[in-house]
Every structure is written in structure tokens, then in C-alpha cells.
Amino acid sequence: MTRLIFKNLIALIILIGTCFFAHAQEILPELKPQAVVDDTVVTLGDIFADLDKKQDLVIANAPDPGTKIQISARHILKVTRAHNVRWRNSAGVMNVIVTRMSEVVSYADLKPQLIAELKNLYQSDQNMDIRFYNRGGKIDLPTGFDAQDLTVKNISLDRNSDKFSALIGAPTGQGTETLHTINGRTVRTTSIPTLARTIRSGDIIQPSDISWISIPEGQVGRNMIRNSDKLIGMTPRSQIKQGSPIRLSEVNRPVLVERGSLVKINFNTDKISLSTLGKAMEKGGMGDVIQVKNNTSQKIVSAIVLGPNLVQVHADVSSLVLLNP
């Protein structure tokens, strides 16, 4: 009898020990030092790892999009105790840093809307650009929203200084808006032709090589090319980089006739068409007037460059006399 009681006591002790060991080995959810949320509230599931219950229990309101808040471990303990949620804090976290995800809209993304509003105030369709005082300015929106969801609530303009101030409404995702003030000034611009690719000296600029950029009117010098006709068919004196404003002095006509080269000299009128060979006394490009020497008569005449090693003398009697021996 005594032996049976002893055996039962040993079994009970083992059972109690096993239960205690199992309890000690229970995996508890771990408090995170940081969390990122994409909602208007922060839940237990956001701030705990391996949480298997009460994941949707709200612990705090989320920060505004793109911002952070701190939630103290003491506050978390108070809430979890009230809902019988056990957890551990192995890292000794004092405050959980919670960041709200956002869609970032830069001030530059708002240029089309603001320029349209400012043109109405100017009562002009003149080209313009905007210079923001806060060059890196941005607005953080809840995920799922973009620049098209922003509205210009009010905009004022000082025409004397070209300064403006705009009030922008941004959705919060909860049916309300936050207001942002954007300040800057307008700049009148003009479009000028430039190169769509880097072109080296000797390459001929084609229509497909032309692109257009807008620059402030005050930066357009008298020597700057404003018409694409001044570029097409020309060649850079030295390499011109893509997108750079181009001055007249940076390009010239491609050399079609080299000095000292053999050229064909044409003389054409309604009744007469003559040609002979000569020597170019100077180099020239398309449309240039250069001096050429008739190989037969050794006389020098003025001629217009029409193509590679091809020139034409002025169609008058004096030129005809010079052309013939």
C-alpha cells in the first residue's frame, strides 16, 4: 500500500513538472522596436512578432502619412493586460517607433495645375515656369492617392514681383483634407532648339536631331539660336552636348569645298548652260560665295557653293567672259 502511494506521488510530481516546463517553454509574442503601417490606426499585429490572437486590437492612432510616432511600452502593457495578452520584451524596448507609409508628391509634380491657375490670373497664355522657395518641398499622401487628388483651394499673385502663394488641399484618406501652403514666383520662359543627342564636329545636324527646351527669357542671349532652321544642315565647330543651348558661333556650314580642291564650275541661264573645271581658292559650305580659278583661262571668279566640289558662277555676262578662255 505504501509503495503504491509512493508511485502515485512520483507520477504526480512528474506531471506537475512537465506542465511547468511546458509553460516555461511557451512562445510569447515579441515586442518590435519599430513598425511600418499603412492604415489610420496601429494594431497589436503591427507591433508584435508571432502574435496569434488579438492582432486587430487597436493600440493607437497612426501618424500622418510620411511621419512617425512613438508608442511607449508602458501604454502597450496597459492595453494588453486589459485584454489578457501576454508578451515579452527581450530587447528592453522602451518606445516603439511607428512610421506611416505614404505616396510622395513633390512640388514639381504640381507645376501643371499651378501654372494653369496662374495663367488665368495673368490673363495670358504666355509660356512660364515656376521657382519654388522650398525647392525640395513635398506633400505626403496616404497610399493609393497621387498628385491628381490634390486641389488648389486658393492662389494669390503679386503681378509686380511675380510672387505667388497657393493653398493646396490634400486628402487624408478619411474623407477630410489637410491644407498646405506653397510659395514661389513665376518666370517667363521661351522655347529654343537644342540637340536631342551629343553631336561631334563634322556631323551634319538633321531635323531628327532637334529637341526643344524652355529657359527663362532673361537667359536668352542675342547670339543664341532660337530657330531650328539655323541648326539643320549645320555642323558643330566642336562637340555640342545634348540639351545645351546653342550659340550661332558654335556651328557653321559643313565644308563642301576644300581650299585647293578641284571643282566643277557651272554657268546657267535660261539660254546657256556651260561647265568647266577649276580650283577652289578658299573653302566653303552650302550657299557660301567663294573664289575659284578657271583651269583653262586661269581667271578667278566668284561662285556659290551648291554641293560637294560643285559651284555656280553668277549668271551675268561678265561672269561668262571670265568663265571662257
pLDDT of res. 19: 40
pLDDT of res. 63: 94
The verdict on 183 and 120 lying in the same domain is yes
pLDDT at 318 over 60: no
Task: Give pTM, 2 decimals.
Answer: 0.64
pLDDT band, residue 9 (cuts 50/70/90)? very low
| Domain contains 68 | yes
pLDDT at 82 over 90: yes
pLDDT at 173 over 90: no
Query: Would you tell me how many other CB atoms lie within 10 Å of the CB of residue 13?
Result: 10
Determine the structural domain holding residue 232 and report its residue range.
191-252
How confident is the model over 272-283, as pLDDT tens digits? 888 899 999 999
Last residue of a domain, one of 100, 123, 156: 100
The cell for 37 is: 503601417
pLDDT at 325 over 60: no
Last residue of a domain, one of 199, 230, 252: 252
pLDDT band, residue 119 (cuts 50/70/90)? very high
The cell for 131 is: 521657382
Dihedral class, residue 222 (left if φ above 0, else alpha if ψ from -120 to 50, else beta): alpha
The mean per-residue pLDDT over the stretch 40-67 comes to 94
The verdict on 173 and 217 lying in the same domain is no
pLDDT of res. 7: 55
pLDDT of res. 253: 85
Domains: count for the chain: 4
The verdict on 109 and 53 lying in the same domain is no
Long-range contacts of 146-154 (CB under 8 A, 24+ apart): 146/103, 146/105, 147/105, 147/109, 147/110, 147/113, 150/105, 150/110, 150/113, 151/177, 152/113, 152/114, 152/117, 153/179
For residue 78, the Cα-to-chain-centroid distance in whole angstroms is 48
pLDDT of res. 4: 52
Length of the chain: 325
The verdict on 96 and 120 lying in the same domain is no
Worst-scoring range by mean pLDDT, 19-23, 117-121, 141-145, 272-276?
Answer: 19-23
Q: What is the CATH number of the domain that holds 248?
A: 3.90.1210.10
The verdict on 272 and 228 lying in the same domain is no
Q: What is the CATH number of the domain that holds 263?
A: 2.30.30.760
Query: Would you tell me how many other CB atoms lie within 10 Å of the CB of residue 94?
Result: 11
The verdict on 260 and 246 lying in the same domain is no
- Within 8 A by CB and 6+ apart from 200, the residues are 236, 239
pLDDT at 22 over 60: no
